[in-house]
Structure formats: C-alpha cells, structure tokens
Amino acid sequence: MQGKLNQLLINWQKGTIRTSASLRLKGYSDDLLSKYKKSKWLESFGNGAYKLYGDRIEWYGALFALQRELNSTIHVAGKSALQLKGLAHNISNDFRKLNLFHNDNKYLPKWFRDHKWDVELVVTKTGKFGNYKKPFLSDIILNGISIKVSSPELAIMEMLFKVPETESYNEANLIMEGLLTLRPKIISEILLECKSVKLKRLFMHLAERHNHSWLKRLNLSKVDFGKGKRQIVPNGMLDPKYQITVPRG
C-alpha cells in the first residue's frame, strides 16, 4: 500500500485534479482512495474528483483534468485565448470572465460546473468548428500546468461566433486589426470545417477591412459561403460582397 501511495503522490502534479475514474484505471480502488482520504493524503473535490490534501485548485488545474483524464474537448477559447496569448492589446485584459468552448456529447462533471471559481466560466457547447483537431489548438502553461487553448486562428473565429450576443463587433474589429501573423493554412482549414455561413462571412469581412497580408494566401476554393443575406446587427450597413449587415461606421 505504501508503495502505491508513494507512486501516486510522485506522479500527481500539484494544483491539479485527478478523477476517481482515472485513478481506478491505475489500480486505486474506491476503498484505497477512502483510506488515503482518512490519512489526509487526499481530499475530495466534489463527487468523482480528488485533490492533494491542502492543495489549492485554480480553474486551470481543473481544466487540466477534463482535458487529460476525461478526454474532453473543452478549452480556453475566443477572446480569453487571445488575451492569454497577448493578442488583445487593443482592448482591456479583463479576466473576470473566461470563455470555454467544447463539443462533448456528455455533460461536464458536476464538480467542475458547481465549484465557485475565482473567475466566471462562460461555457459554450457548439459543433460549428468540427472536432477541434490538433492544429486548431495549442498548449499554454499557467503556473506549471499545461492546458489546451485555441490557436489565434480559431480564437478569433470563436470570438466572432459570440458577436453580437456577448461580444462586441467593435472589439472584434480592433483585435482583428492586430492579427498580422495568422497562418493561412490553418485559417483555410477552419473556414472549410466551420458550419456557420454568417461566421465565415463576418471573418472575411473584417479580414478584408484590414487588408491583412495573409489574405492572398487563403485557399477558399471549397469554402461554402452560402447564399442570401445575413444579419449581424439590425439597421446596420450592408457589406455588398459578403451580404452581411454590420454596424455603421
């Protein structure tokens, strides 16, 4: 028992959650985990999750568990990903809200949903971006904990997905202005997989507004931009090329 405990503690990264399901797969029964709790090596973190005794868990330590142990597609997304990567210079870096996107078929665990985090987690479930394959996501390290976040190319698309409901057109426009080094191959793949006509048109509208150099290297031959008009805001200005109504000015 002592050997198993030592192995568990050595391999447990501080600041992260482990799930009981993953621990069982490693040979740690519920009875054994209960003994570790009584001996104050571990603490429960809601139903089905554990942390090291006395350890402090931030949102990224929990996200680590969802991504690594539960194979969730959830990741830091949209404006939050752009802020973490230092690509939102033109707007305030307000981290009171954290945008997370996923397309999981199952519910996120209750221990994650119900915990009172220091930031407000705004979780969006959508299949508009396919299966979040590897080039669309990248890794970032926060206090020694590695988590997956959207690439800049996906992040700006996710931010635009929220316009105008919870993100503003003006902020998205300001951020797009500074996205000088987006990778055309990744943008082309995201546009091809994206299932929202309105979103694809809005992205191209803003990119062309700032005439970014990567525009001419996009492969749009198979991208479906649909037919008919789309409205971003009512009583706005019509972009005649992309047939979307956007704010005036």
Confidence of residue 35 (pLDDT cuts 50, 70, 90): very high
Chain segment 99-110, per-residue pLDDT in tens: 999 999 988 999
C-alpha dihedral (114, 120, 125, 126), degrees to nearest 10:
180
- The CA angle 214-216-221, to the nearest 5 degrees, is 115
Lowest mean pLDDT among 84-93, 191-200, 236-245: 84-93
Q: Which residues pair with 138 in a beta bridge?
A: 149
pLDDT for position 143: 95
Contact present, 206 and 173 (Cβ < 8 Å): yes
Confidence of residue 216 (pLDDT cuts 50, 70, 90): very high
Chain segment 67-98, per-residue pLDDT in tens: 999 999 999 999 999 999 988 876 666 678 89
Confidence of residue 26 (pLDDT cuts 50, 70, 90): very high
Chain segment 93-134, per-residue pLDDT in tens: 667 889 999 999 988 999 999 999 999 999 999 999 988 888
pLDDT for position 1: 55
pLDDT for position 242: 96
- pLDDT (mean) for 154-175: 95
Identify the three-state secondary structure at position 18.
strand
Domain definitions of the chain by residue range: 2-52, 59-246
Confidence of residue 145 (pLDDT cuts 50, 70, 90): very high
pLDDT for position 89: 73
